[in-house]
Amino acid sequence: MEAKIAPSMLSSDFANLASEAERMLRCGADWLHMDIMDGHFVPNLTIGAPVIESLRKHTRAYLDCHLMVTNPLDYVEPLGKAGASCFTFHVEASKDNWQELIKRIKSRGMRAGVALKPGTPVEDVYPLIEDENPVEMVLVMTVEPGFGGQKFMPEMMDKVRALRKKYPSLDIEVDGGLGPSTIDVAASAGANCIVAGSSVFGAAEPSQVISLLRKSVEEARGNN
């Protein structure tokens, strides 16, 4: 359950994605968080497999792909070929086919994660964690998915606490409004994978913010 700090590339300069990725790695990032939105599951439209493939040519970084799409199965093959490291789909978009989805994700050499919106009960992901072929990470959305720069929802920490208590070694990711003012509550609840967008990219010294986020997670882990 190591600390993983994942700057959200949605907040980067998309015209210079490769150099922005390299800059984040130099600043101490562990992962690069890639938000893939289809304009249907969420209103916004961002990137897809072609951009992941292009970025992969310029970096060996762990590409943490969050799929906010209606039909995640359609994305498995293209993202596997593009070089995605992790494929996190939404439980709300996969209630009828998640076992097949997880199987295909792993067969393409990617880690499988599941995400849940703020209004989705945490219990909805338990079967996916307890299956004989389980997901390897749960992403708890701490804002409504679809746009960056939203305000952190502290009430979502009840989900993180429930997951950490039930699954002590699980990778638990949080995404939305994370920064210096909100990291302690997320870390103390049990989150170890931290997605941060505007708080990192908008900082004068991104490396200091990344270091602060990591320190909070490590201190919380040491106290538990």
Q: What is the pLDDT of residues 172-204, one digit of tens each?
A: 999 999 999 999 999 999 999 999 999 999 999
Q: Give the Cα separation of 80 and 106 in Å (integer).
A: 9
- Helices H, strands E: what count in the chain? 9, 8
| Residues in a beta bridge with 39 | none
Residue pair 1/194 in contact by the 8 Å Cβ criterion: no
Annotated binding site: 8, 33, 35, 66, 146-149, 175, 177, 197-198
> According to CATH, what is the number of the domain 4-223?
3.20.20.70
Residue pair 44/146 in contact by the 8 Å Cβ criterion: yes
Structural domain boundaries in the chain: 4-223
**Is a pLDDT exceeding 80 seen at residue 2?**
yes
Given 30, 64, 171, 175, the catalytic residue? 175
Output the DSSP codes for 126-172. HHHHHSSS--SEEEEESS-TT-SSPPP-GGGHHHHHHHHHH-TT-EE
Q: What is the pLDDT of residues 213-223, one digit of tens each?
A: 999 999 998 87
- Would you state the pLDDT for residue 169? 96
64 catalytic per annotation: no
Annotated binding site for substrate: 8, 66, 146-149, 177, 197-198
- Would you state the pLDDT for residue 150? 81
The whole-model pTM stands at 0.96
35 catalytic per annotation: yes
How many C-beta neighbours within 10 Å does residue 64 have?
29
Cα distances from 118 to residues 27, 60, 169, 197, in angstroms, run 30, 32, 23, 18
Q: What is the pLDDT of residues 68-114, one digit of tens each?
A: 999 999 999 999 999 999 999 999 999 899 999 999 999 999 999 99
Given 30, 35, 38, 64, the catalytic residue? 35
**Is a pLDDT exceeding 70 seen at residue 18?**
yes
Annotated binding site for a divalent metal cation: 33, 35, 66, 175
Rg over CA atoms, the chain? 16
Strand extents, DSSP E, 76-134: 86-90, 111-116
Distance of CA 215 to the CA centre of its chain: 19
Q: Give the Cα separation of 74 and 67 in Å (integer).
A: 11
Angle formed at CA 47 by CA 43 and CA 49, multiple of 5 degrees: 130
Provide the pLDDT confidence category of residue 224 given band limits of 50, 70 and 90.
Answer: low
Q: What is the pLDDT of residues 46-75, one digit of tens each?
A: 999 999 999 999 999 999 999 999 999 999
Mean pLDDT of 12-37: 98
